[in-house]
Each structure stands twice: as structure tokens, then as C-alpha cells.
Amino acid sequence: MKAIVLRKYGSSDVLKLQEVEKPQPNEGEVLVKVEATAINDWDWNLMRGTPFYIRLLCGLFQPNISIPGAEIAGRVETVGDNVTQFKAGDAVYGDISECGFGGFAEYVCVPETVLALKPESITYGEATALPHAAMLAVQGLVDEGQIQPEQKVLINGAGGGVGTLGVQIAKSIGVTDITGVDSSNKFQMMRSLGFGQMIDYTEQDFTQSKEQYDLILDTKTNRSIFNYLRVLKPQGTYVTVGGTTPSLLQALFLGPIIRLLTQKNVRLVNLKPNKDLNYINKLVIAGHIKPVLDGPYTLSEVPEMIQYFGMGKHKGKVVIAIK
């Protein structure tokens, strides 16, 4: 089968399209014919071996993950022994980041526990855009943020996968006052999704604004946590789902002290992959959320598209169709 293979850390030219052996399912696993996959921060960071914690998790000097790709949507081809949830022919999707990655390939074997049935109303491309970004959005807004309909909400990084799904999730809960921060070339798309106000981060630093928010969901977290406290209302909550290592460490270790001194909440999402797929399925079926797709691109274009993703030019999720 064809797959994108990673043998060493570096720029996009370290990723190679190669022929590799087709996997076979072990007990409790299913073999999935991948129809679509998507690019996210895991792939961008894994390719480069940075931030440093990536090397601690995935290999200090060279990656121990040979085929990147954390999200898949496809059809079950065969099942291993003692598989009870799926059968051959089932359309499935899920986040496979905790079972070795491998999404940038024509086939992948994964435990049945990381998959859910794909709603019939969406395509494989739309399905693969959901698992990682939607889980971050749900766990950031609902689990950690305790979002309420009357709140004033800001999403930083609003035009990417988490932001475009997050605004739709917030609207489904009844929130109407939602501000998005991203580049102005994404404003038209953001407005169509339900953002009422938009801020171009290249022109304005929202942390210096006089506006204050009840809840901030940050997908970037690239400055001191204390900067965000300026625009957070008393009793407000700041939630980060990813960013630079120093800022994330600040959120992790200083959050309790900040709460004690300021009565403001700083929380870090510890992602639980696939935990809320049933919740997302219900929103999809009800028509409350529809992922924004950038693509689809081909498997051979993955190296170029990971670089494109890293530059932050994409709108929604960068999706790859496997043919």
C-alpha cells in the first residue's frame, strides 16, 4: 500500500510517499480502508520534532512513528478476533493518535475502541475533519469552560479546525455573542459560521482591548497567560487547547494561584480522544455543525499541505482524500 513515511525530523522534504506492507488486524483491531484523513498540529509538530516534548514522546533523535496522521474516516475491510462493535463494510471515523497514528496511508489497523460509526449525512472528508478538532472544542468550551448561553465568548484561532467547529458548538448551546480572532482573509467564512465580531490579529492585539469576555478559548496560546487576564471578566474562564510550551506550562502550574489571587480561571485541556464523538454525531445529524474543509488534497500532497498548515493559511480543516 502507499503511505507517507517519516524517518527523521525536519522540514516537509523529510516526508516521502512510499510503498509499505499492508497491515493485518490483531485481536480487538479492525483494518480500515482509509477514504480520507486530515492534517493537524500533531503532524506539523511531529514532522519537525518540535516543541521539545514531541521528542520526549515520539523519539529523542528520530521519530518512532513512521506514518503520521491522527484522524481517519473510512470503511472497515476486515476485523480481528473478538471484535464486537464493527463488521466489514461499516463506515467509521476516529482519532487514532493514541494507538500509533498511521492515517496518511491507504490502510491502517486500529483498536475498535477508537472508532465510531460515520453519520450517513456527511462525507468521509467531513467525518475525518471532526475527531480531533471537535473534541478539543467540546472539551474546551463545555468540559473546562462550562459555557453558558448568556456569556460573551472569544475564540482565538477562529478560522482553523477548532475555531470553526467551536463557534457552531457554542451556537448550538444558545450563545449569540461570539468574537473570533484570525486573519482578515478568513472573515467572510467566519461570519457565515456565526461569529458576530471579528478581530484581525495582524492589525490588533485583542489582549490590549477594553472589551472583556466571560470565556476565552485559545488555540494559539503564544504569549504570557497574564496578558489574557486583562480581557477576562471577573469569574471568567480562559481555556487553552494548545500553544507554545512556556505558555502552556504557565497555564498548568500558575492556574491555581491565579484563581486564588484574581478569581479568574485558567484551564488547560488534557485531550481525551474520541470521548465526545457520540455528542458530536448528534449535533451533525441535527444539522447544528458542519465542518469547513480546505481541500481535499491527494496523499502525494501531504508534505506540501503540512507546510501550508503550519503557516496558518488554511480555513477549517485541511483534508486529504485517499484514492
Cα–Cα separations (whole angstroms), residue 269 to 20, 139, 140: 35, 7, 6
The pLDDT value given to residue 310 = 93
The pLDDT value given to residue 248 = 85
Mean pLDDT of 3-24: 96
The pLDDT value given to residue 103 = 98
Three-class secondary structure of residue 79 per DSSP: strand
The pLDDT value given to residue 249 = 86
Reported as a single tens digit per residue, the pLDDT across 305-320 is 999 999 988 999 999 9
Cα–Cα separations (whole angstroms), residue 227 to 23, 208, 295: 48, 8, 35
Topology, domain 132-268: Rossmann fold (3.40.50)
Distance between CA 32 and CA 298 in Å, rounded?
18
What is the pLDDT confidence band of residue 110, given thresholds at 50, 70 and 90? Answer: very high
Which three cell numbers, joined as nine digits, stand for 310?
503550519
Q: Where are the domains of the chain?
A: 2-130+291-321, 132-268
Distance between CA 149 and CA 172 in Å, rounded?
9
From the list 128, 130, 132, 134, the residue with the least C-alpha distance to 73 is: 128
Q: Is 96 within 8 Å of 258 (Cβ atoms)?
A: no
Q: Is 21 within 8 Å of 109 (Cβ atoms)?
A: no
From the list 156, 160, 157, 155, the residue with the least C-alpha distance to 178 is: 155
H-type helices in the chain, by residue range? 41-48, 52-58, 124-128, 131-138, 161-173, 187-193, 225-229, 245-262, 277-285, 302-310
Reply yes or no on whether the pLDDT at 196 is more than 90: yes
Reported as a single tens digit per residue, the pLDDT across 111-120 is 999 999 999 9
Q: Which residues pair with 266 in a beta bridge?
A: 238
Distance between CA 60 and CA 57 in Å, rounded?
8
The pLDDT value given to residue 52 = 85
Q: What is the pTM of this model?
A: 0.94
The pLDDT value given to residue 246 = 86
Reply yes or no on whether the pLDDT at 279 is more than 90: yes
Region of 271 (left: φ > 0; alpha: ψ -120 to 50; beta: rest) is beta
> CATH class for domain 2-130+291-321?
alpha beta
Reported as a single tens digit per residue, the pLDDT across 246-277 is 888 888 898 899 999 899 999 999 999 999 99
Query: Which residue pairs from 301-308 have beta carbons closer than 8 angstroms and sit at least 24 positions apart in sequence?
Result: 302/4, 302/15, 302/17, 302/39, 302/104, 303/4, 303/12, 303/13, 303/15, 304/12, 305/39, 306/12, 306/15, 306/39, 306/43, 306/44, 306/47, 307/11, 307/12
- DSSP code for 160: B
Q: What angle do CA 56, 61, 62 make, to 5 degrees?
A: 95
Q: Is 160 within 8 Å of 316 (Cβ atoms)?
A: yes
Region of 238 (left: φ > 0; alpha: ψ -120 to 50; beta: rest) is beta
Q: What angle do CA 242, 44, 6 make, to 5 degrees?
A: 140
The pLDDT value given to residue 214 = 98
Reported as a single tens digit per residue, the pLDDT across 26-44 is 999 999 999 999 999 999 9
